[in-house]
Structure 1
Amino acid sequence: MSGTDIGFWGVPLAMFAGAIRVSTPFLFVSLGECLTEKSGRINLGLEGTLVFGAMSGYAVSYLSGSPWLGVLAAGISGMFFGAIHGYICKLPKVNDIAIGIAMMLFGTGLAFFFGKPFIQPQAPHLPSINLGGWSDYPQIQSALEINPLFLVGIVLAVAMWWAFKNTRWGLIIRMTGDSAPAALAMGYSVDLVRFLATTVGGFFAGVGGAFLSLYYPGAWSEGLSSGQGLMAVALVIFSRWNPLLCFAAALLFGAAGAIGPALQSVGITQGYYFFNAAPYLLTLFIMIASVSPKRSLKGAPGELSITK
């Protein structure tokens, strides 16, 4: 073993690094979905928002030369999709789940149409913060390369958790999600609160898409998302609609997604594709566990369609 070879310790180290990188899009999309569902609405269209955010962020980064402008553009595009979803869902006799599926197809189709010219060009990527300069091991240095968006996501999760418990706006959102008649009796517009929550939730999902195309994997392609927007719905259920638990669950999903590459890094290639399916198996397990409303849906906003 060479002086810089850490053997099988590379597996947990690679999973740690993968948890940080892979979890970041999960974190932003799940926080966006958590905010939306706290107001009493489900947005299954965040998969399309994530893909379009990845495309628009990459395109703006390539055209402007600034990856941070790309992140902003991705967030704005996500707001656009969230606003469309929020506006349509406030119309009479409209089902939010059906609209979400339609928006998912619309977003992915639009991204594929406008994104074809940007598949080959190389856009500037987001920078990383190197926290491993103290070590001589390249594996440790690589594992401790952290993107600023991951840190922003942590701050956002804590801020949302605090705001839901301690601010007037947090109380209004929770009240709207738990009981629309109570919100109306207090003089608040249920449609407006849900529209704003869905719009801001779309912004978060768009930023998550920008991370995919501008940092990890760091390119734009039509198969970039791999269903992460849909997995976020299961992640929010798993986290009991708690932003802090959304962060923990995102790390869990990220570590699951890193199992395959981590094992491959130490020469274990048999069953590689099976381990790559770990996030999808975890999603399936969570959705099966969610069948019991008395156990798994505890803490769910009362106005969600899945609770009725």
Structure 2
Amino acid sequence: MLRTVKPKTARTKRFFKNRESKVHENPKTALIVHGSTTSQVVTDALKDLYAMKRPNAIHFTKKNEIKPFEDEEKLEFFSNKNDASLMVVGTHLKKRPHNLTFIRMFNHQVLDMFELGVEKSTSMSQIKGTKCSVGMKPLLVFNGEAFDSNPTCQSIKNYFLDFFNGDASDAVNLNGLEYVVSFTALSETKIVMRTYTVQMKKSGVKTPRVELEEMGPHYDFVVRRANAAKADLWKAATKVPTELKKPKVKNVNVDEMGDKLGRIHVGQQELHKIQTRKMKGLKKRAADDSDEEESTNKKQKSDD
């Protein structure tokens, strides 16, 4: 029995085209998911993370039976259905209280994930004052040696750079810089997150005085479990498209400060062929002329 296939509508075509690989990818969507059991701390944390990630976020307020480190198929299902590459799952168990699991996907497969426990928290609603606008990119600050030396902390830093990245931009407008998110690694297992709004105040000169005011949320995280990315999957995820690769210029390098350094190769110099000024003293003379000149000089000295 033959089955008739309905032609794709314009909406379906746009759906599949939006999921195709692109040179400049769309902003990553994050799924905010509640686990089967949560606490008020976890609920407030998921709510605040959703508020900071909007509009590139989807918040599932209903509870879901999901265990990230035990069932990757359900994570991949959520990712494929909602076309999301980032996930945050909040749970609360006796062994792991106030738990947040941060997951990153590539091609709807689990790339890496890590688990952070909330030891102390201050939600955004508990701090009075101005809040950031929807869709604004924050200034991220990472303090601590662990972000450069510890592989798990390096993965956490890379994840939050992805989480708050948003739309790609070529320039920065200082007036649009509304808030700052600071991460401080006190140790390899202790990370402190603080969020502030940027206030531009009068200073009496052209340059304003910049002050930071607490906005929230504030968290004291403890690093629990982590699954690092597989080598082959990480290589595919970090592959740079050919269109974005800059053509390599020979003998030109850029140092850590952004200065361009070039190397020039000079061929063999033949000094005897260089055209010099035509002076009598530089002309080549025969051996007889030089002997005659020496004898004349000696005679003059003897007469003196």
TM-score, with structure 1 as normaliser: 0.23
| Higher RCO, Cα 8 Å, sep 6+ | 1
Structure with the larger helix share: 1
Rg larger for:
2
The structure with more strand, counted as a fraction of residues: 2
Question: With structure 2 as the length reference, what TM-score do the two structures score?
Answer: 0.23
